[in-house]
Structure 1
């Protein structure tokens, strides 16, 4: 267990606002108290860290990430999982969903087996919170960088088998709601406590609305790989923008969505219905070159990954602290709102907001220290400082 530490002279971002010249104390991995200076002086804390006026934020939770540091969640062994989680922890991610690609049933079951085993032991870096299945029940028209060889209609028997063998491991599943059997599958996901998500879809406005009536609550990488907006047929994008039951992801890297598109999304959804994600692939943190994504060849040039055939964007090489900086600097989102999109909103969507996602007494000490330029200085996961 971690020891006691008090961070003072920081801008502490809490659910009730930002505390100037604030302090936060944690002990044995749990936040004990938060306040404003100089009241900490009589707390008797052995270890004190001066934040020097920097930002103190809750750790980021990335609900859509395929890999990093040269490894992919689809096939990574324990060493590979450690490398992925270490890379993302070094960029502020304290909780992560291991995200799959469209693949065979056996390969997806293999992901659940390895992630379930990994979660059963102490994890040294970013905590894997479960699995996000992106596919295989998607639209071939909007497949993006997903392998079309494994696209199939929704299979309820697969879901029942996975839920029985790996209870609580699948947290989100993304599918195309217009496909045969999708509405019943969405109800099945909701019944098992899994967040139903739309993505890689050609669904009309009416089809998304019908899916939300059955339990759809999430949309992956808004604007990307979904039926576009038209003023007479608003499409998937129009439904995602206007239905308050749906929380939308956004990839803020300057390549997937123009800053004006993010401003539009933010204006339509509001801060509390947006989740910042990376959609990072194995090439994140690696040099330019050739890589693989779900069996498809990818080339990364100047940090941008694209399929060699078709030139579609192939995930991203983004990390969460860079995404937060992009929101603040290029889109004009205040730091406090960007923090909610990166931490508290995903925690709420995953049903773990009572444990993490905000800086409050009694919650896990998943804490970030940033300087005034929003450069990451220190990361604590469960009160334990992570060395990059």
Structure 2
């Protein structure tokens, strides 16, 4: 693997803005970042250079879904689906992602975990799209009252033995799990997960304030799609939302499609919690990049109309959002570009323990995205290789 030079761009690191700036890459790693115009390399004058987007909560895209492929009963089907998803995400500036399962039978989740491990191994031999960083299990240890589009048939009590099996099947690539802290056995599971290095996210929960704080003290450090699938705030029982907002160690996922959370609440939460804790995710489903119609999520029928995905009872069921659209939506709210970029890059990386990506600084992997002045994705680099 050789070296490349990307010169004369407006660089969003995302902590600072360098204009004009140049990035030198060698062997897939950023070696130098500096101000000033220069000749040579690829001239990106008039373009914006940002870190590659990292989506840590996505179920599927363009006809593929990680849980659906596992329901078909074959690790090979999971691998094929993940490779197709990898290519589809890269078009939207995603360079790393966590394929996310929904609540399903134990054997199905084991197949998904094995498929993720196999795909990660295969990506070491060559890069065709976004890199898979590991598995995000959304469920099955969640609240029945706040199941949302999760199949209630397969919701079950936390099991350390089950979690150990998922961990082993994924070859240690289970990055994060979403659970409800109020269910019996959740606190013990959180402690065990953290001992393995798994990041625990609070979601699909009817937890009280005290129950949520207990989970945070036990080691939970993320919130899955904040406000959605959660007990709402009440002036006599603040609930899980307030516990999450006031805990500085907790990263807060947002689905920035203006549907799951209103623009006003997005801006309000950023003011309250600080941009450093906000993580933009898509929660995208199989119908993303496809026309309206009837699709499936974890075996449940979903209907997509005008790009909005719902169960037949009207409950929201994931989204058809893409990360490049999420960036544009944040900027439209008046969020400074470097702050908006941070929520798609550095913050999600740190939230799940990825420490070599998400920023344009020496020593970081050269996962880079070139945008035009309208924030349209023009080209994508993964480990210094131009894949788009």
Same fold by TM-score, threshold 0.5 exceeded? yes
- The answer as to whether partners of 1:219 and 1:248 remain within 8 angstroms in 2 is yes
* Residue 371 of structure 1: aligned partner: 372
Once the two structures are TM-superposed, the CA of residue 51 in structure 1 deviates from its matched residue by 1.7
Alignment of 1:79-228 (within 5 A): 79-122=80-123, 123-228=127-232
Check whether the contact 1:183–1:214 (CA below 8 A) recurs between aligned residues.
yes
1:62 counterpart residue number:
55
Give the aligned CA root-mean-square deviation in angstroms.
Answer: 1.3
Structure 2 equivalent of residue 249 of structure 1: 253
Distance 2:116 2:171 in 1: 12
Instruction: Tell me the equivalent position of 1:347.
Output: 349
Question: Which deviates further from its counterpart, 200-209 or 356-365?
Answer: 356-365
8 Å contact 2:68–2:298 — kept in the other structure? no
Q: Which runs of 5+ in 1 are unaligned?
A: none
Alpha-carbon distance, 1:15 to partner: 5.0
Among candidates 29, 39, 42, match of residue 49 of structure 1: 42
User: In the aligned structure 2, how far is the partner of 1:79 from the partner of 1:154?
Assistant: 30
Contact 2:294 2:301 in 1 (8 A): yes
Aligned to 1:34: 33
What stretches of structure 2 of length at least 5 have no aligned partner? Answer: 70-76
TM-score, structure 1 normalization: 0.94
- 1:19 corresponds to: 18
Given that residues 90 and 386 in structure 1 are in contact (C-alpha distance below 8 angstroms), is that contact kept between their aligned partners in structure 2? no
1:311 and 2:314 correspond: yes
The residue that corresponds to 1:336 in the other structure is 338
CA distance in 1, matches of 2:80, 2:12: 34
For the 8 Å contact 2:48–2:372, the answer to whether it is kept is yes
* Length-normalised TM-score, structure 2: 0.94
Q: Which secondary structure state, in structure 1, belongs to the residue aligned with residue 304 of structure 2?
A: strand
Residue 16 of structure 1 deviates from its aligned partner by 4.6
The alpha-carbon deviation at position 313 of structure 1 amounts to 0.9
Q: CA offsets, 1:111-166, max 9 Å, x none?
A: 01111111111242100100000000101111110000001111111112233443
SS at match of 2:122: coil
SS in 2 for 1:74: helix
